[in-house]
């Protein structure tokens, strides 16, 4: 073989080795970057699933509160008046959600007084005849719900429904939500809803790019991507979180949030004894598919470079440079994507939240309030709002400066945020004015809540400003009200409060 041919062969062999090493390096780098990117995106998937789960639970809570606060049910509790309208109300509320399995009122003795059943998800609910009603005094859910205080909710574990002491087949995952019922200040029974959880858990676990697991505090699966591995605590199938993630399971169980190169996990906000956690794992086949596509592209590029190298051997020296440029291009793209995601998050916060107090701003408030108006018109409950204004706030700014004024605004926002209910909506309306929406609350309740907030704010201790007070204007929703008409009434009531010496609550 001539020197020329040996030299050409040497270039080709060297080129094959060099390109092969470069491709392997790019492949491993992209593999690592893809895993990191998928784990970062898992947090967004967690937010999506958490919001879905929270919405479903809040939807059931709302039905329970709607029934509890209805005039028909109150009349039944306080006057002992039982008529067909009450049973129709129970049937109607059950009929509005396909996932309600049972809706019951059980009196203080444990006797079922009204019970609506649904055999299967989305089937027609029916009223159980009086002769078939049972006593539930010894059931844990009756005792646990009855132990709660007024306006508290009790949540059961998510478990499997049993009939005559045996797990019902096919299995029916159930969550129970209950609340005690009072006549004046005396407990007289409970309201409790049983929820079909199978469809909800299926939608919760559905994700094309991730395996999503729902576990309890012991690491037992409530929901597993493979249905045969779910409910291991009841079915005794031998599966637990430590079987799937032997190196990570302790961190998953012991931390509210945990993330590594393999998984993301977080505690779910449902206040039952399960202490539910979600575990999100990128699907390996999806990552492998992306890597295979990239490897295919790189392989085509290698073959092309090899063919070009035969007549143009000197191009071998440039091949590593081109590959390096490809690496930089891909890394730059990943960095740009990360920066875009960060900027989008910043823009979202600016669009929804007040920059100083970190509570909702006026734009987000108006969006949420429109939803409350729609819900009010549909369910015909009660809805009240309050506008609060910091008294003599201009004097605070003039005397102590705007930095101290900002501190007062932040303190007031913090006190109100920590004191109101989760269903209440709180926002900064502008300047030293704030606005609170009290869903499912009549005017009297809103006045009581406003006075409670007023007293807490008055007790704020500040190094510079010794006496911080606020005035409240309160009103309640009337038919065909809008945000503008409600706010105008609140503003008038606030004007009255200001002219009545401040540090008080007035209503219209």
Q: Please, are residues 400 and 463 in contact by the beta-carbon 8 Å criterion?
A: no
Q: What architecture (CATH level 2) is domain 69-199?
A: 2-Layer Sandwich (3.30)
Token output for 148: 């709660």
> What is d(CA 302, CA 23) in angstroms, rounded to the nearest whole number?
8
Contact call for residues 434 and 412 (beta carbons, < 8 A): yes
Q: What confidence score (pLDDT) does residue 245 get?
A: 92
CA 227 vs CA 156, 237, 462, 480: distances in Å: 22, 11, 57, 49
When the candidates are 3.30.70.270, 2.60.120.260, 3.30.420.140, 3.40.50.2000, the CATH number that belongs to 362-507 is 3.30.70.270
Q: Confirm whether pTM is higher than 0.85.
A: no
Same fold, 69-199 and 207-282: yes
The contacts found for 121-128 with CB under 8 angstroms, 24 or more apart, are: 121/196, 121/198, 121/199, 122/98, 124/95, 125/91, 125/94, 125/95, 125/100, 126/91, 127/87, 127/90, 127/91
Contacts of 129 (CB under 8 A, 6+ apart): none
* pLDDT (mean) for 20-35: 62
CB 113 within 8 A of CB 189: yes
Q: Which residue has the tokens 């960095």?
A: 335
491-501: b (≥16 Cβ within 10 Å) or e: bebbeebbeee
Summarize pLDDT for 352-401 with one digit per residue, the tens: 899 999 999 999 999 999 989 888 888 888 999 999 999 999 999 999 99
User: pLDDT tens-digit profile of 168-187?
Assistant: 888 889 999 999 999 988 99
Between 164 and 220, residue with greater pLDDT: 220
Please state whether beta strands 126-127 and 112-117 pair in parallel, antiparallel, or not at all (unpaired). antiparallel
Compute the distance between CA of residue 311 and CA of residue 335 in angstroms, rounded to an integer: 38
Q: How confident is residue 506, by pLDDT bands cut at 50, 70 and 90?
A: very high
Cα(151)–Cα(383) distance, integer angstroms: 17
pLDDT digits (tens, 9 = 90+) for 101-159: 999 999 999 999 999 999 999 999 999 999 999 999 999 999 999 999 988 999 998 88
**So what CATH class is 207-282?**
alpha beta
Domain layout of the chain by residue ranges: 3-39+285-352, 69-199, 207-282, 362-507
- Give the whole-angstrom CA distance, residue 156 versus residue 280: 24
Task: Output the pLDDT for position 342.
Answer: 47
27-31, 155-159, 420-424: which range is least confident on average?
A: 27-31
Give the separation between CA 408 and CA 191, rounded to whole angstroms.
42
Q: Are strands 505-507 and 470-476 parallel, antiparallel or unpaired?
A: parallel
Residue-wise pLDDT tens digits, 252-296: 999 999 998 889 999 987 778 888 999 999 987 655 665 566 666
Positions marked catalytic: 432
More confident of the two residues 36 and 349: 36
284-309 vs 319-352: helix crossing angle, rounded to 10 = 150
**Residue matched to tokens 């009349």:** 75
What pLDDT was estimated at residue 306?
64
CA 337 to chain CA centroid, Å, is 25
Structure-block tokens of residue 384: 């009240």
What is the reported pLDDT for 162?
75
Computed over every residue of the chain, the mean pLDDT equals 85
């Amino acid at each position: 073989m001539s020197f020329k041919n040996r030299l050409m062969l040497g270039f080709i062999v060297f080129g094959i080795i060099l390109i092969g090493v470069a491709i392997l390096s790019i492949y491993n780098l992209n593999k690592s970057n893809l895993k990191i990117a998928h784990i970062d995106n898992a947090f967004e998937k967690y937010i999506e699933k958490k919001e879905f789960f929270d919405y479903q639970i809040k939807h059931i809570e709302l039905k329970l509160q709607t029934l509890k606060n209805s005039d028909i049910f109150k009349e039944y509790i306080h006057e002992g008046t039982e008529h067909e309208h009450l049973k129709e109300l129970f049937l109607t509320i059950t009929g509005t959600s396909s996932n309600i399995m049972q809706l019951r009122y059980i009196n203080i003795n444990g006797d079922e007084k009204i019970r609506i059943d649904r055999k299967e998800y989305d089937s027609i609910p029916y009223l159980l005849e009086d002769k078939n009603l049972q006593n539930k005094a010894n059931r844990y859910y009756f005792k646990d719900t009855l132990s709660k205080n007024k306006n508290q909710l009790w949540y059961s574990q998510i478990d499997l429904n049993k009939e005559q002491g045996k797990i019902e087949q096919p299995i029916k995952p159930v969550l129970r939500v209950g609340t005690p019922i009072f006549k004046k200040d005396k407990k007289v029974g409970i309201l409790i809803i049983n929820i079909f959880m199978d469809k909800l858990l299926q939608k919760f676990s559905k994700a094309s790019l991730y395996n999503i697991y729902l576990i309890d505090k012991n690491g037992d699966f409530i929901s597993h991507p493979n249905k045969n591995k779910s409910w291991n605590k009841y079915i005794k199938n031998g599966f637990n979180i430590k079987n799937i993630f032997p190196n990570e399971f302790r961190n998953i169980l012991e931390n509210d949030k945990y993330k590594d190169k393999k998984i993301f996990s977080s505690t779910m906000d449902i206040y039952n004894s399960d202490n539910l956690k979600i575990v999100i794992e990128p699907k390996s086949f999806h990552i492998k598919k992306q890597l295979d596509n990239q490897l295919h592209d790189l392989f085509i590029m290698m073959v092309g470079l090899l063919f070009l190298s035969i007549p143009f051997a000197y191009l071998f020296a440039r091949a590593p440079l081109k590959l390096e440029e490809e690496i930089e291009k891909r890394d730059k793209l990943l960095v740009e994507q990360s920066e875009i995601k960060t900027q989008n998050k910043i823009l979202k916060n600016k669009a929804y939240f007040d920059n100083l107090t970190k509570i909702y701003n006026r734009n987000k408030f108006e969006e949420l309030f429109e939803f409350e108006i729609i819900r009010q018109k549909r369910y015909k409950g009660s809805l009240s709002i309050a506008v609060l204004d910091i008294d003599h706030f201009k004097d605070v700014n003039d005397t102590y400066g705007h930095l101290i004024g900002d501190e007062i605004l932040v303190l007031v926002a913090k006190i109100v945020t920590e004191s109101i209910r989760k269903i209440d909506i709180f926002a900064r309306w502008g300047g030293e004015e704030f606005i609170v929406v009290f869903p499912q609350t009549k005017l009297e309740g809103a006045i009581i809540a406003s006075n409670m907030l007023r007293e807490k704010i008055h007790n704020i201790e500040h190094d510079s400003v010794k006496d911080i007070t606020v005035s409240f204007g309160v009103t309640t929703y009337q038919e065909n009200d809008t945000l503008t008409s409600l706010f105008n009434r609140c503003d008038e009531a606030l004007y009255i409060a200001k002219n009545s010496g401040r540090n008080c609550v007035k209503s219209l």
